[in-house]
């Protein structure tokens, strides 16, 4: 680790001000950033911790939509959404291990947009809105590729507005080592249609599988996607799976998510 | 019934009190006054010429005390291989120098070419980054067959990438070829025994100290065998006289083989300590551990099994390429040869075995013994090809094995691979395995799995291995450069408690509990009054260390011999106290008594007399009560076992789940069944890890792709089933005083082929004509195999 300064602001405004310094870096739960620093792969001059900002903590239920503070930990989401959005709670309860879940935050995960992370799948499938200190960004516009989002420098994910579907389920087929998603599929059924988001599979990061959405919107059953095929083009190839394997898993996991949706 | 805390009692591990309450004292926990840090500059390329290293800017960095490069060590020795292996043509193996720091060339990613000594680790890292280094990268030598065919050499000076081309048993080569040529049936299988990263929980750590007042060096280091490390540093590398070097291995958090060996970091911290007059510490981080700890396995094998029309085994023939990495680690030459080839007759009466093994240098981390060391490779090859043969000729795999088993009345049995097995009963193990695994219920369980859309397979394995390495005379003939005895000193203190100094090092095995059980049983005293001292060359007589499941069979036997000497001397003292002839004095349960009388003295009274020798036959018996014994075994020991497991395979994803695992082992006499069961559990976990998840992958440029836990999977609790572990079917080792065989590696030897056999069985049950899948059988691999078979 290289030396850095750290600030722990208690308001979003103070955090935004602190992030104006050159090479300042926002710090959520640090579950990606801290290991990166320890490997000396990043050298921010200053870390601005967001976890002390009360406005960014906790979950509010506005009827059909959850508002989740950006600094809310996975562990809190897992517990506090168990009744309101069980599929989200289930997803959160299977991220990493207890240490990760008690440190890592939803805002940090969405800002990082790891191509194999779980939260981008639920955000995209739920049609969430990413709320920052300056604006609101629809999930469809927010995720822009592997580790790439619509966030500007110094912009902070202060909250996520998450519509609650009628039925939903997340199926994660884990990569054996990291236990990130080798392929993860989140299926969300709303009154006006079905959204299917896929993580872990693509070089473009999280994305929607629109053919499946169309088929499932017409007939919400696992059999509805039987005739579809997933192209292996631009899917991730690594030690743990070929593009063809990932393409196959996208379909298998989608079917299982539909079957398990509740 | 065993005595309380005596031999055979399931005594709770006393060392766990400190391990489980955070009071262990590992090397990195030791903070010396004035300690400074060593940080290594490591190659980021697999093969390169060091054109220049400019240390000027780095030396001027804050806190930097000294910088070493390979140039500083050109006049000291290399780190040697402990075993000379000759090729089939009689040529000695190629033995390029393994320097303290790379000089001239770097040969694998992680190869250290410089070291910075600084006040703090962070300052050292800053200075490493400030080194101006020009390394010209060359194409990497990675694939073994390409390495042998090409002219790009890991070590230019030897002009080949072949370390040796070994044949075992060379005199049987022609006969084996003939037998295979004329056989009724020959089964051929090509397989890979996958490379593994050891991943001890505690990374390596070495602390060097030098006392300018006395000229004494001290090395505290994560070692499985401090005396061996001292010997290597003294006799081969730095030339420090053994009497001026103390090596201490305090609590060590796992080794699995990777901490047997001497590494350059140990020599570096000693040299730096002398130069600076400071204590110098290096602690590996996890990334360094992945890149530089000696890896395990990495064989590519073709095996053939010839059978007659009745299913009798006629011959095994193998052709194996064994990766030794960029340098020869200390046991790297014996592991794929004498610890592997000699086991290639397995549990069978097969008359002919021929093993050809080519050891190959590549631009990868050195490969050496890892839990099981050669025997897992042998068992895997044998038990896979036998399973395949059974399928090809339509025989039940258990029945085919039984037909060819050595029978109980055939011991001692001279195996076709050159060993003399002293005892065993493989049918009894198989009987017990079938019983306790509820093999009879498999069909119902398979039906239940199928109703869930899952394929269920049953896999079986029989193994025999060689432990308790080893008779010095024998291994000397075979090329060992050291003897392989062990030693113990039993010191009875004046007040009747004992310190027992042992050569075996405990880093998870439970010696601190088990050795006192043995001594307590022999002396009839409370085990709690006996403490074990180990891991410090200044405190223990000598020791060859802990590996090859040898601690109990070899060092434990030395403990027995030393305790017998104590009893013999104590009996003489007691005879004097009882005014009797020594021959008339019995020793039982802690009490010396004169035959046929009620006169007796306790062991404690005798101990006190030995140290306060008033009214003592000083002209006949020396005062004191302390005895040392060295024990050199007469043979290897031969643990054996029958394993089975059941797996469920998800045909949609290729995911394998081990549902049931049964290990029935013959470990000879068991000293502490709880610890033995724990050892088997650990071994099974590692074996299942190898079979299913552990994947070490270098790319063509020699970059280790699986260099962290993000890509290298370790088996976790939810990857493993509940185990059925049984060691009721034991036959006694005939040649050591404990009758013990060794249990540390069995689980890792027996389980990988069991799991693979079960997966293949599941594939066949699903109508897939799949005969082999290489380990690790990741979901991707299994799915790919199923997909290709469609």
Q: What is the pLDDT of residues B15-44, one digit of tens each?
A: 999 999 999 999 999 999 999 999 999 999
Question: Residue B329 in contact with residue B81, Cβ under 8 Å?
Answer: yes
Contact status of A245 with chain B (Cβ, < 8 Å):
yes
Mean pLDDT for B660-677 is: 98
Same domain, A199 and A211: yes
Q: Do B713 and A177 touch (CB under 8 A)?
A: yes
Task: Using DSSP, state whether B630 is helix, strand or coil.
Answer: strand
| Residues with pLDDT less than 50, chain A | none
Copy the structure tokens of residue A114.
């790891």
> Which of A163, A181, A196 lies at the terminal end of a domain, its last residue?
A163
Domains contained in chain A, number = 3
Copy the structure tokens of residue B46.
């697999």
Same domain, A155 and A109: yes
Interhelix angle B426-436/B397-404, nearest 10 degrees: 160
Q: What is the pLDDT of residues B433-476, one digit of tens each?
A: 999 999 999 999 999 999 999 999 999 999 999 999 989 999 99
Same domain, A120 and A197: no
Neighboring chain B residues of A249 at a CB cutoff of 8 Å: 653
Among B residues 644-673, those touching chain A with beta carbons less than 8 Å apart = 652-653, 655
| Range of the structural domain that residue A85 is part of | 54-163
pLDDT above 60 for B215:
yes
Yes or no: is domain B161-196+295-395 CATH 3.40.50.620? Answer: no
Identify the pLDDT of residue B1: 56
Identify the pLDDT of residue B761: 98
Q: What is the pLDDT of residues B112-140, one digit of tens each?
A: 999 999 999 999 999 999 999 999 999 99
Neighboring chain A residues of B39 at a CB cutoff of 8 Å: none
How is chain B split into domains, by residue range?
A: 27-140+198-292, 161-196+295-395, 421-470+636-790, 485-631
Same domain, A120 and A28: no
Task: Give the C-alpha separation, B288 to B286, whole Å.
Answer: 5
Placement of tokens 């505690």 in the chain = B202
Please identify, in words, the CATH class of the domain defined by B485-631.
alpha beta
CB nearest B784 (choices: A1, A39, A245) = A245
pLDDT above 90 for B2:
no
Same domain, A118 and A178: no
Which of B125, B778, B781, B787 best tests the A interface by mutation, with the highest count of A CBs <10 A? B778
pLDDT above 70 for B606:
yes
pLDDT above 90 for B790:
no
**Beta carbons within 10 angstroms of residue B23's beta carbon:** 10
Task: Give the C-alpha separation, B704 to B693, whole Å.
Answer: 16
Identify the pLDDT of residue B670: 97
Same domain, A186 and A104: no
pLDDT above 60 for B328:
yes
Same domain, A76 and A145: yes
Yes or no: is domain B421-470+636-790 CATH 3.40.50.300? Answer: no
Query: For residue B64, which phi and psi values (nearest 5 degrees)?
Result: -80, 130
Compare all CA atoms of chain A with the CA of B786 and give the residue at the minimum distance: A245
Which of A1, A239, A248 best tests the B interface by mutation, with the highest count of B CBs <10 A? A239
Contact status of A183 with chain B (Cβ, < 8 Å):
no
Same domain, A178 and A121: no
Contact status of B415 with chain A (Cβ, < 8 Å):
no
Mean pLDDT for B732-737 is: 97
CATH number for A193: 3.30.390.50
Please identify, in words, the CATH class of the domain defined by B27-140+198-292.
alpha beta
CB nearest B653 (choices: A1, A39, A252) = A252
pLDDT above 90 for B757:
yes
Which of B779, B781, B787 best tests the A interface by mutation, with the highest count of A CBs <10 A? B779
For the CA atoms of B443, B445, B448, B452, the dihedral, rounded to the nearest 10 degrees, stands at: -120
Question: Residue A26 in contact with residue A161, Cβ under 8 Å?
Answer: no
Neighboring chain A residues of B129 at a CB cutoff of 8 Å: 40
Same domain, A31 and A116: no
Question: Residue B713 in contact with residue B656, Cβ under 8 Å?
Answer: no
Query: For residue B328, which phi and psi values (nearest 5 degrees)?
Result: -80, 110
CB pairs under 8 A between A and B: 45
Identify the pLDDT of residue B3: 79
Neighboring chain B residues of A39 at a CB cutoff of 8 Å: 287
Contact status of A8 with chain B (Cβ, < 8 Å):
no
- Distance of residue A79 Cα from the nearest chain B Cα, in angstroms: 22
Neighboring chain B residues of A254 at a CB cutoff of 8 Å: none
Copy the structure tokens of residue B785.
């195999």
Q: Do A176 and B779 touch (CB under 8 A)?
A: yes
CB nearest B653 (choices: A1, A177, A249) = A249
Domain pair B27-140+198-292 / B161-196+295-395, same fold? no
CATH number for A136: 3.30.465.10
Same domain, A79 and A133: yes
Contact status of B184 with chain A (Cβ, < 8 Å):
no
Neighboring chain B residues of A248 at a CB cutoff of 8 Å: 783
From first CA to last CA, the distance across chain A in angstroms is 45
Compare all CA atoms of chain A with the CA of B696 and give the residue at the minimum distance: A239
Task: Using DSSP, state whether B504 is helix, strand or coil.
Answer: coil
Copy the structure tokens of residue B510.
């439970």
What is the β-pairing status of strands B723-726 and B656-666? parallel
> Which of A32, A49, A66 lies at the terminal end of a domain, its last residue?
A49
What is the β-pairing status of strands B486-492 and B498-502? antiparallel
Copy the structure tokens of residue A250.
């996208």
Same domain, A171 and A234: yes
Which of B695, B713, B788 best tests the A interface by mutation, with the highest count of A CBs <10 A? B713
Same domain, A104 and A135: yes
Q: What is the DSSP string of B366-433?
A: -B---TTTTHHHHHHHHHHHHHHHHHHHT--HHHHHHHHBPPGGG-SEE-TTS-EE----HHHHHHHH
Task: Give the C-alpha separation, B527 to B497, whole Å.
Answer: 9
How would residue B311 be classed by pLDDT, with cut points 50, 70 and 90? very high
> Which of A131, A163, A195 lies at the terminal end of a domain, its last residue?
A163
Identify the pLDDT of residue B4: 83
Question: Residue B176 in contact with residue B354, Cβ under 8 Å?
Answer: yes
Out of A138-142, B210-214, B543-547, pick the least confident.
Answer: B543-547
How would residue B382 be classed by pLDDT, with cut points 50, 70 and 90? very high
CATH number for A34: 3.30.43.10
Interior angle at CA A37, CA A31 and CA A38, nearest 5:
90
Identify the pLDDT of residue B286: 96
């Amino acid at each position: 680790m290289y030396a850095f300064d750290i600030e722990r602001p208690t308001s979003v405004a103070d955090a935004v001000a602190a992030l104006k310094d050159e090479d300042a870096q926002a710090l959520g739960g640090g579950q990606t950033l801290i290991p990166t620093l320890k490997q000396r792969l990043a050298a921010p001059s200053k870390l601005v911790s967001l976890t002390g900002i009360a406005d960014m903590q906790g979950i509010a239920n506005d009827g059909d939509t959850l508002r989740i503070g950006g600094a809310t930990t996975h562990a809190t989401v897992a517990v506090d959404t168990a009744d309101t959005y069980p599929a989200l709670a289930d997803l959160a309860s299977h991220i990493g291990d207890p240490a990760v879940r008690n440190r890592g935050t939803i805002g940090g995960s969405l800002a990082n947009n790891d191509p194999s992370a779980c939260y981008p799948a639920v955000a995209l499938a739920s049609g969430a809105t990413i709320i920052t200190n300056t604006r609101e960004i629809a999930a469809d516009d927010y995720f822009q590729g592997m580790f790439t989002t619509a966030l500007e420098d110094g912009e902070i994910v202060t909250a996520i507005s998450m519509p609650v579907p009628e039925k939903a389920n997340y199926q994660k087929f884990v990569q054996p080592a990291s236990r990130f998603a080798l392929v993860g599929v989140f299926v969300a059924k709303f009154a006006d249609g079905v959204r299917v988001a896929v993580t872990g599979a693509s070089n473009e990061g999280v994305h929607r599988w629109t053919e499946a959405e169309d088929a499932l919107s017409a007939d919400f059953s696992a059999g509805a996607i039987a005739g579809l095929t997933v192209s292996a083009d631009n899917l991730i190839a690594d030690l743990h799976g070929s593009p063809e394997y990932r393409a196959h898993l996208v379909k298998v996991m989608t079917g299982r998510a539909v079957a398990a949706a509740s | 019934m065993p005595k309380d805390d005596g031999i055979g009692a399931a005594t709770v591990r006393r060392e766990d009190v400190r391990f489980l309450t955070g009071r262990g004292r590992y090397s990195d926990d030791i903070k010396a006054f004035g300690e400074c840090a060593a940080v290594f500059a490591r190659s980021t390329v697999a093969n390169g010429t060091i054109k220049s290293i400019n240390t000027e800017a780095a030396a001027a960095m804050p806190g930097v005390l000294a910088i070493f490069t390979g140039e500083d060590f050109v006049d000291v020795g290399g780190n040697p291989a402990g075993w000379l292996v000759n090729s089939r043509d009689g040529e000695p193996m190629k033995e390029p120098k393994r320097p303290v720091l790379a000089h001239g060339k770097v040969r694998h990613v992680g190869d250290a070419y410089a070291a910075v000594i600084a006040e703090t680790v962070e300052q050292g890292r800053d200075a490493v980054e400030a080194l101006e280094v020009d390394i010209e990268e060359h194409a990497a030598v990675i694939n073994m067959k390409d390495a042998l065919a090409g002219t790009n050499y890991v070590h230019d000076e030897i002009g080949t990438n072949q370390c040796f081309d070994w044949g075992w048993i060379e005199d049987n080569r022609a006969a084996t070829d003939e037998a295979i040529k004329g056989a009724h049936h020959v089964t051929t299988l090509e397989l890979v025994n996958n490379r593994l990263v050891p991943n001890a929980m505690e990374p390596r750590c070495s602390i060097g100290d030098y006392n300018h007042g006395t000229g004494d060096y001290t090395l505290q280091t994560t070692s499985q065998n401090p005396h061996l490390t001292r010997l290597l540093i003294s006799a081969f590398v730095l030339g420090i006289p053994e009497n001026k070097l103390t090596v201490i291995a305090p609590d060590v958090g796992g080794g699995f083989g990777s901490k047997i060996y001497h590494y350059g970091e140990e020599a570096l911290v000693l040299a730096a300590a002398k130069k600076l007059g400071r204590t110098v510490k290096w602690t590996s981080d996890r990334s360094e551990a992945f890149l530089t700890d000696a890896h395990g396995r990495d064989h590519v094998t073709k095996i053939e099994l010839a059978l007659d029309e009745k299913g009798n085994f006629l011959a095994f023939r193998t052709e194996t390429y064994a990766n030794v990495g960029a340098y020869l680690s200390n046991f790297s030459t014996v592991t794929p040869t004498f610890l592997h080839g000699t086991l290639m007759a397995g549990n069978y009466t097969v008359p002919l075995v021929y093993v050809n093994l080519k050891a190959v240098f590549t631009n990868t981390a050195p490969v050496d013994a890892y839990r099981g060391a050669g025997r897992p490779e042998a068992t895997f090859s044998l038990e896979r090809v036998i399973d395949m043969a059974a399928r090809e000729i339509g025989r039940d795999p258990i029945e085919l094995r039984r037909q060819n088993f050595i029978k109980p009345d055939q011991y001692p049995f001279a195996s076709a691979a050159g060993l003399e097995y002293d005892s065993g009963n493989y049918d009894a193990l198989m009987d017990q395995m079938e019983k306790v695994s509820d093999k009879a219920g498999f069909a119902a369980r398979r039906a239940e799995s199928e109703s869930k859309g899952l394929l269920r397979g049953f896999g079986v394995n029989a193994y025999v291995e060689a432990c308790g390495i080893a008779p010095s005379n024998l291994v000397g003939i075979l090329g060992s450069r050291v003897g392989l005895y062990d030693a113990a000193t039993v010191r009875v203190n004046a007040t009747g408690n004992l310190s027992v100094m042992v050569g075996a090092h405990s880093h998870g095995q439970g010696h601190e509990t088990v050795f006192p059980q043995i001594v307590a049983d022999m002396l009839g005293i409370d085990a709690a009054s006996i403490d074990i001292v180990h891991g410090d060359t200044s405190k223990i007589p000598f020791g060859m260390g802990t590996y090859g499941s040898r601690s109990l069979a070899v060092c434990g036997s030395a403990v027995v011999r030393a305790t017998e000497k104590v009893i013999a001397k104590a009996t003489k003292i007691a005879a004097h106290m009882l005014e009797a002839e020594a021959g008339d004095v019995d020793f039982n349960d802690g009490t010396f008594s004169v035959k046929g009388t009620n006169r007796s003295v306790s062991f404690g009274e005798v101990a006190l007399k030995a140290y306060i020798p008033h009214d003592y036959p000083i002209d006949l018996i020396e005062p004191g009560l302390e005895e040392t014994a060295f024990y050199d075994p007469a043979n290897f020991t031969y643990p054996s076992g029958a394993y089975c497991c059941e797996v469920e395979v998800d045909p949609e994803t290729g995911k394998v789940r081990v549902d049931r695992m049964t290990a029935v082992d013959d470990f000879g006499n068991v000293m502490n069944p709880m610890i033995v069961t724990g050892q088997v559990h650990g071994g099974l976990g590692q074996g299942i890890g190898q079979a299913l998840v552990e994947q070490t992958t270098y790319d063509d440029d020699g970059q280790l792709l699986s260099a962290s836990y993000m890509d290298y999977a370790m088996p976790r609790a939810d990857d493993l089933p509940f185990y059925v572990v049984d060691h009721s079917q034991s036959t006694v080792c005939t040649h050591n005083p404990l009758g013990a065989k060794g249990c540390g590696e069995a689980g890792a030897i027996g389980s990988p082929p069991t799991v693979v056999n079960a997966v293949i069985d599941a594939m066949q049950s699903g109508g897939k004509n799949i005969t082999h899948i290489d380990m690790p059988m990741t979901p991707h691999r299994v799915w790919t195999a199923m997909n290709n078979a469609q």
